[in-house]
Amino acid sequence: MDADVAVIGTGTMGSMALWRLARAGVDAIGFEQFGVGHDRSAAGGESRIFRTAYKEGPEYVPTLLRAYELWRELEAESGRDLLTLTGGLMIGDLEEGGMRNVLASIERFGLSHEILDGTQMAGRYPQHTLFPGEAAVLDRLAGVLRPEFAVISATLRARRLGARVISGTPVVAVEPSSDGVTVRAGGRDYRFAQAVITAGPWTARFAPELARRVSPRKIVMTWYMADDPAAYVPAAFPIFIREHRGVGMFGIPSLDGGSVKVALSDTYGDVGDADDLDHNVAPGDLATVNEAVAACLPGLVPQPIRVSAHMDAYTTDKHALVGALPGARNTWLLGGFSGHGFKMAPAFGQIAADLVQHGETTLPIDHLDPGRFLTV
């Protein structure tokens, strides 16, 4: 055996899995096709939202609360600031499905919050235009994560705790059998007791039976200049998510004192093969986000000063794939995080370490079982 565990892909989830495995004393090797902290897939792009009153469903809240603790733990271990709490505004019609999930998360887990009507919003957060029927839920346990620092911090910490990382080395095959797992990379075969596949946009390559259910989609980040930059700094401008005329969008306060990230939550379409992500963004593709900015955030100049293209793996139900790789008992899959996985990454790293060590975890993952797609 080369080590107990192989981690395939040391991006967001892989770096966290490696950290949690190393911290538990498990001998692990991470394989990464690019460099540590690269920006060619789902990490990168300066910032990520953290929030706990979860429009995607209250079943995520225990994982989100555990992630919060682990973000603080990683900050303490690495000496880096990774998460800045700003609060988070979830804006919309309180009767609509996503907002009902926000309220259900709050009720079920007693999350600290406030509900603000249009008049209260105009007084406290005049940066936003609210439309008739809209209100805001302020989630106090919400803020901004720094993705590049996070991935690098987890990887360096894992290394310091004994993990090895082989970067610049694509894994070409993962072959589970009854007596271990063979990993083919860099022209040789490595042997492990178990493997964790965290290949992000490349997930389907390692789980061909799920290929119809998970695929890479393009996500575009856009930054806008503020008329009054002081009104958009983290202390004044909570992260937000909202919909406008059926278009989902989110925003993050200015981290450079001038530009504000506001981007579509919806994707810019299928990438096809993850190797083929087109980093160009045609000006016409920005019309929807520019219109939403003009309508909802009148203090921003509605032409982006900065644009960057990324991708994430999306499943057909927008819930991730977390559990045993179909047909294998010693290989675990964590992928398909569908544009909302970063905030939970250290908790999923913990889940990976739990699965490796115990075959189960106390965090709720039943709704993420990859097997759900094999029975329909």
176 is an interface residue for ligand FAD by CB under 6 A: no
State the nearest-atom distance from the C-beta of 11 to ligand FAD, in Å: 2
Spatial separation of the C-alpha atoms in residues 155 and 152, rounded to whole Å:
5
CB 350: neighbour CB atoms within 10 A? 26
E strands, the chain, in order = 3-8, 28-31, 48-50, 83-85, 88-92, 113-116, 135-139, 143-145, 164-166, 171-177, 180-185, 188-197, 214-225, 239-244, 247-252, 259-264, 306-315, 321-324, 331-335
Q: For ligand FAD, which residue of 323, 341, 346, 349 counts as binding (CB under 6 A)?
A: 341
49 is an interface residue for ligand FAD by CB under 6 A: yes
11 is an interface residue for ligand FAD by CB under 6 A: yes
Q: Where are the alpha helices (DSSP H) in the chain?
A: 12-23, 61-78, 97-109, 118-124, 147-160, 203-206, 287-296, 345-358
Which structure tokens are listed for 164? 């090895």
Q: For ligand FAD, which residue of 221, 226, 363, 365 counts as binding (CB under 6 A)?
A: 221
Spatial separation of the C-alpha atoms in residues 369 and 24, rounded to whole Å:
24
| Total residues in contact with ligand FAD, by rule CB under 6 A | 36
State the nearest-atom distance from the C-beta of 42 to ligand FAD, in Å: 3
CB 204: neighbour CB atoms within 10 A? 22
State the nearest-atom distance from the C-beta of 305 to ligand FAD, in Å: 17
State the nearest-atom distance from the C-beta of 315 to ligand FAD, in Å: 11
Q: For ligand FAD, which residue of 19, 26, 29, 48 counts as binding (CB under 6 A)?
A: 48
DSSP letter, residue 300: B
x/- mask, ligand FAD, residues 309-338, rule CB under 6 A, reads -xxx----------------------x-x-
Q: For ligand FAD, which residue of 5, 6, 12, 255 counts as binding (CB under 6 A)?
A: 12
Comparing CB distances to ligand FAD, the nearer of 170 and 258 is 170
State the nearest-atom distance from the C-beta of 353 to ligand FAD, in Å: 15
DSSP letter, residue 190: E
Comparing CB distances to ligand FAD, the nearer of 227 and 317 is 317
Residues lying near ligand FAD in the complex (CB under 6 A): 8-14, 31-34, 41-43, 45, 48-49, 170-171, 198-202, 219, 221, 310-312, 335, 337, 339-343
